[in-house]
Structure 1
Amino acid sequence: MDFQLTEDQANLQEAARKFARSELPEIARQLEENNTPPGRDLIKTYASMGFLGMNVPESLGGMGLGNVDALIVLEEFAKISSAVAFPIFESCVGPVKAIERFAPASLVEKVVPAVCAGKLVVAVSMSEPEAGSALTDLKTRGEIRGDKVVLNGTKRWCSGGGHADGYVVYCRLSDEPGAKGIGAVYVEKEAEGLSFGANEELMGFRGIPSSDIYLDDVAMPLDHIIVPAGGFGKLMAAFDLERCGNATMALGQGSGALEDVLDYVQERHQFGKPLVDFQAVQMKLADMKMKTDAARLLIHRAASNAENNLPSILDSSLGKCFANQIAREVAGDAMQLMGAYGYSKEYNMERRLRDSWGWGIAGGAIDIQKINIASAMVGRRFDQRR
């Protein structure tokens, strides 16, 4: 058990930090103001520096690094903003990993190297109007007709909706009830019958487009079925890694807030001395440091303990739940220490607080993570319907 970064990891972290801090703050501000996603030129820059698909095998265009390596880089980008970090999130711990691990080889070779090269953006589409936390209530259907799978239904809250080039669509692929009938299909943006709702106006997550997706007899080749009916467990195994990514995006809001406010309280003077000289401020800083370090350790433990490169539901839910909670607390405390400056849109703190709340909703709400944790502790799933 070693809690130190390796020399390679430390160098990777420093490279990511240097690039993010020097190149991304103004871009992040523009994405926030305009509510637009990172441009393709920026994504290609990420690819050229090896930041996309870091934990994807080299044979598929990635760097062949570990999940912890990817999360270390993701946090440095998330400290700048959720929007500038999102392409790394999608390529390293999001839907691309489900394709890499479980899709037919023809689809893997078509999609994954293109993502790593910055030529393709892939999003996941899980939720529906009546299926969010109750994900096994999905109604979107995929029906095999000859050499095609034909999809019909409506998806909600797709991060990347209308912007991404392809979508990992969770859907019902058989008449089996609940999870037994669910699988996933890769749907290309240009597919006939696919359309999108308006870009949602959310409290936070500006620069991460979110919209409804409408599927009207959308036909895809059979090798676009990532997992068939009955593969819900595989999808959730891949999603356990995505939870670690969500947790790291939340952590980035908290650790970034701590770094910003630490500078502020040393520069800002009141009553003739720096704010940091007041004992109440010192205690608040210590609390913030303990929370962010503890969250990071939980997340990295989940990634380090992963079997077959995918974390357990217990470890990933612990990391996500705690990181989601403390990100809100740390960003809120940092805003309070900065006073009116923290509340002003001229500074990053109010955005960090808004995004922190979003990460505790996206990818499974905080309370759902607690149910996952309790289920793992007692060794059985709880039926919420009875």
Structure 2
Amino acid sequence: MHFTLNETQASLQDAARTFARSELPALARELERDDRPVPSDMLRRYGEMGFLGINLPQAHGGMGLGHLDALIVLEEFARISAAVAFPVFEALTGPVRIVELFGSEALKQRIIPRVIRGEGIVAIAMSEPDAGTALTDLATTARTEGNTVVVNGTKRWSSGAGHSDHYVTWCRFDGIEGARGIGAVLVDRDTPGVSFGKREEMMGFRGIPSADIYLEDVAVPLDNLIAGPGRFGDLMRAFGLERCGNATMGLGIAAAALEDALEYTQSRRAFGKPIVDFQAVQMQLADMAMQVDAARLLIHRAAAQADSGDEEANPFGLPSTYDSSIAKCFSNEMVRKVTQAGVQVMGGYGYSKEYAMEQRLRDGFAWGIAGGTTDVQKTNIAASLVGRRFNQRT
């Protein structure tokens, strides 16, 4: 057991930090101001630098490195803003990994190399108007007709909706009830029958499009099947890595808030001295640092144990539900506390839109809702502790 980065990881961190801090701050401000996603030319730059393929297979154009390597890179992007980091999050820890884990080889070859090059974006279409936490209530249907799968339904809270090229769409196959009937197909944006609702206006997450997705007799090739009925458990296991990505997005925001607070409190003077000389400010900064470091350790533990290579115990090579739920839940709560403290120590400047701290507070709050609420993570943790799932319906 060790707590230092190896040579490869340190090099990746340095490359990501240098790129993010030199190329992205001005863009991040534009995305926040205009509420638009990372433009295609910058996305291709991400691809050219290798940032979209860190832990994706070499056979598909990736680097084939571990999940910890990917999360180290993701944190550096998230320190700039959630919007500029979101394509990295989706590629390294989100829906692209579901395609990589469970899709056919033909589907992988069609989708993953384009994502790695920054030429395509994959989003997840999972939640519905009446199915979010209670995912087994989802009503979007899929029926197999020869060499096609026909999908009907409505998806909600899909980050990237309308902007992304492909959607990992969760649906209920052939009327099979409960979890047994749930699987997923890949739906391309330009498929006939796909349309999008109005752009959602969020408290934060500006630069990350979100909208309803309407699917009306959408016929996709059978090759687009990712997981058929009976694979619900496998699909859910993929969220171990997504939870770590979610946690890392919050970590990056909080780490940047701490950095800003440290800089501000050493330059801002009151009563003839820097405000960092006041013990009350010192306590705030110390609490922020403890929270950030603890979150990073929990996230890195989850990723490192997944990267350990025990294929028999972990055939998909993913973080466990226990490790990833603890990391996500702690980070989700941590980023809210740290960004709130950051606003407080910066006073009026922290509350002003001229500075990034208030945006960090708004963006940070979302991660405890997205990808499974903090309450759901605590239920996951308790279930792991007692060794059984809890039936929420009775």
CA distances 1:319-353 after superposition (whole Å, capped 9, x unpaired): 00000000000000011000000000001000100
Residue 217 of structure 1 corresponds to 217
2:230 counterpart residue number: 230
Per the normalisation by structure 1, the TM-score is 0.99
Q: Give CA deviations for 1:238-297 in whole Å, capped at 9, x if unaligned.
A: 111001000000111111100111111011111100011111111111111111110011
Asked if residue 353 in structure 1 is aligned to residue 352 in structure 2, the reply is no
Q: Residues 17-48 of structure 1, C-alpha deviation per residue, up to 9 Å, x if partnerless?
A: 11111111110001001110000101000000
Map of 2:311 onto structure 1: none
Amino acid paired to 2:329? C
2:373 counterpart of 1:365: yes
Native 8 Å contact 1:191 1:218 kept in 2 = yes
User: Residues 147-296 of structure 1: matches in 2 within 5 Å?
Assistant: 147-296=147-296
CA contact (8 A) 2:140 2:153 kept: yes
Q: In 2, Cα distance between the equivalents of 1:353 and 1:230?
A: 40
Unaligned runs of 5+ in 2: 307-313
In the alignment, is residue 313 of structure 1 matched against residue 304 of structure 2?
no
Q: Deviation digits for residues 168-222 of structure 1, max 9, x if unmatched?
A: 0011113332211100000000000000011100000000000000000000011
Gaps of 5+ in 1: none
Distance 2:282 2:354 in 1: 25
Question: Identity of aligned pairs, percent?
Answer: 60
- Alignment of 1:326 with 2:334, yes or no, is yes
In 1, distance between residues paired with 2:245 and 2:317? Answer: 14
Distance in 1 between residues matched to 2:299 and 2:184, nearest whole Å: 27
Distance 1:111 1:38 in 2: 19
Q: Which amino acid aligns with 1:129?
A: P
1:375 maps to which of 377, 383, 389: 383
SS at match of 2:238: helix
Which position in structure 2 is the counterpart of 1:130?
Answer: 130
Give the deviation of 1:365 after TM superposition: 0.5
1:49 maps to what in 2? 49
Quote the offset at 1:309 in angstroms.
Answer: 2.1
The Cα of 1:53 is off from its aligned counterpart by: 1.9
CA distance in 1 between partners of 2:78 and 2:95 (Å): 18
Name the structure 2 match of 1:73. Answer: 73
C-alpha separation in 2, matches of 1:173 and 1:250: 35
Q: 1: distance between equivalents of 2:376 and 2:137?
A: 15
For 1:94 and 1:374, how far apart are their aligned partners in 2? 24
C-alpha contact (below 8 Å) 2:141/2:175 kept by paired residues: no
Question: In the alignment, is the contact (CA less than 8 A) between 1:55 and 1:62 conserved in 2?
Answer: yes
For 1:105 and 1:121, the matched residues in 2 are separated by 18
Asked if 1:114 corresponds to 2:134, the answer is no
What is the one-letter code of the residue matched to 2:334? I
What SS is found at the alignment partner of 1:155?
A: strand
One-letter code of the match for 1:269? R
Q: What code does the residue aligned with 1:333 have?
A: A
| Cα distance in 2 for residues equivalent to 1:310 and 1:336 | 38
Contact 2:144 2:174 (8 Å CA) reproduced? no
* In structure 2, C-alpha distance between the alignment counterparts of 1:25 and 1:119, rounded to whole Å: 22
Amino acid in the other structure paired with 1:324:
N
- Judge conservation of contact 1:174–1:182 (CA < 8 Å) in 2: no
Which amino acid counterpart does residue 146 of structure 2 have in structure 1? G
Residue 65 of structure 1 and its aligned partner are, at CA, apart by: 1.1
RMSD: 0.7
Paired residue secondary structure (1:185): strand
1:65-93 deviation line (CA, Å, top 9, x unaligned)? 11001100101100100000000001100
Residues 150, 220 of structure 2: 8 Å contact kept = yes
